[in-house]
Amino acid sequence: MKNLISLALNNGFLVVTRREPVSLRSLLNANKFAALLRELSFRACDSLLFFVNTYFLINKTILFIHPQTAGMGLLNRLISRNKVYIYVMDNSFFCMKSYNIHPILRNECTNCVGDPSRFHPQCSPFPVAGNPNKMVDHLRMLQKNVNKITFLAQNHNQAKLLKMHFGQECKSIIVGMDTNELGECSEPDKHNANYDVVFHGNVNIAKGSIWFVEVAECLPQIKFFMPCTKLDIELLLGRSIKVQNITFSPCSWENGLRDAVESAKLVCVPSLWSAPIEGALLKSILFNGEVAVVKTEYGFSQEISENVLLHLSSNPSLAAVEINRYLTSGTKFKETSRQWLEFFSSKNSSLNVFNAIV
């Protein structure tokens, strides 16, 4: 978003965004009650200001991003009065959870493609909580308005999902995704390998964190690393973790995760949903080159050749066999993955987004 905002301003766009909120829970836990009251006041003022700045937009060309936080109702209202381009960040156009993963089976789910009312009873809107039935109404309205929208897709599989959901009349342009993180990264340093397999992602079922632990439990002789606390994962799992071969150490890219990624024998970016272009995947390729993903049907990683990435089974026990085979085989992706990344970077620019808007 920071990269897009600067380019938008340079291209003559008026930028209207919500203020980034401060966590109420963190203020409450720190007993900062005055700051808590200020934050509540700031949020109320921000909501009013955002409403005023968007309500009177008529006959404009609008680039709309992340309707879950901006508001699905706002999006549908703007579509009725303006020319709207939606830059698709995730799969919220058909899945109220944004990350289309089945709540029970924990795998890629496309049940709501074409009909968002087919959602599972355990599904609910994310990242902003809300009424599931109301969200379905918003998504149906989006389907009714599809002839008034141009979707900017990140990759071919995402464009395919758009056509499957909205029909062949859906207008979509593939513009890629550029977070500007690769251009700002220096060349990787040389490190001694501390871990065999490193998890690069958030503590989220859709990002494959439970899958990763279940793989590690099948390979007690191999050293795994996760940039989070053990309790974080146990709460997600709903049980305790008994194995000793996983190192849990909460860290960010700047204070430890980069070192772990650089030194790993294999970096896992195991998103289980139909993930589009992910910064974690690109950075893992740049800073290591030996990268594994999980096989899905519509994820961006599936557009990348098997001589660039290690494509693993979504079944943890089978994936464990595949990882063990890779680590003992001497197979290397570093050269082909770096070549692929150079080609990808040459084709991806945030300017593609603004060039698509006519």
Q: What is the rounded CA–CA span in Å between residue 256 and residue 240?
A: 25
Phi-psi region of 106 (alpha: psi -120 to 50; beta: other; left: phi over 0): left
User: Both 7 and 156 in a single domain?
Assistant: yes
Q: How many CB atoms lie within 10 A of CB 199?
A: 32
Q: What is the mean pLDDT of each run of 10 residues along the chain (358 residues)?
A: 83 84 82 86 86 90 92 92 96 97 96 97 94 96 95 98 96 91 55 82 96 98 97 95 96 94 97 97 96 98 96 98 95 93 92 87
User: Both 30 and 169 in a single domain?
Assistant: yes
Domain CATH number, residue 338: 3.40.50.2000
User: Both 106 and 121 in a single domain?
Assistant: yes
User: Both 147 and 209 in a single domain?
Assistant: no
- Dihedrals phi, psi of 156, to nearest 5 degrees: -65, -45
Q: Which residues contact 75 (CB under 8 A, 6 or more apart)?
A: 64, 67, 84, 86, 138, 142
Q: Tens digits of per-residue pLDDT, 250-301?
A: 999 999 999 999 999 999 999 999 999 999 999 999 999 999 999 999 999 9
Residue 35 has a pLDDT of 86
User: Both 198 and 315 in a single domain?
Assistant: yes
- Dihedrals phi, psi of 87, to nearest 5 degrees: -85, 115
User: Both 272 and 294 in a single domain?
Assistant: yes
Q: What is the rounded CA–CA span in Å between residue 300 and residue 246?
A: 28
User: Both 309 and 232 in a single domain?
Assistant: yes
User: Both 169 and 302 in a single domain?
Assistant: no
Q: What is the rounded CA–CA span in Å between residue 212 and residue 319?
A: 9
Strand partners, 224: 197, 246
Cβ burial of 357 (10 Å; 0-12, 13-18, 19+) is middle
Q: How many CB atoms lie within 10 A of CB 8?
A: 17
Residue 192 has a pLDDT of 52
Angle between helices 334-347 and 279-287 in degrees, nearest 10: 130
Question: What letters, b where the CB count within 10 A reaches 16 and e where it falls short, cover 16-37?
Answer: eeeeeeeeeeebeeeeeeeebe
Residue 188 has a pLDDT of 46
User: Both 275 and 254 in a single domain?
Assistant: yes
Q: Tens digits of per-residue pLDDT, 165-196?
A: 999 999 999 999 987 776 555 554 455 558 99
Domain of residue 335 covers 183-346
Q: How many CB atoms lie within 10 A of CB 115?
A: 14
User: Both 105 and 205 in a single domain?
Assistant: no
**Number of domains composing the chain:** 2
Residue 104 has a pLDDT of 95
Q: How many CB atoms lie within 10 A of CB 109?
A: 25
Closest to 116 (Cα-Cα) out of 88, 97, 90, 103: 97
- Which residue shows structure tokens 């209207």? 16
Q: Which residues contact 191 (CB under 8 A, 6 or more apart)?
A: 259, 262, 263
Structure tokens given for 280: 């974690």
Q: What is the rounded CA–CA span in Å between residue 229 and residue 249?
A: 6
Residue 185 has a pLDDT of 54
User: Both 72 and 156 in a single domain?
Assistant: yes
User: Both 170 and 300 in a single domain?
Assistant: no
N residues, the chain: 358
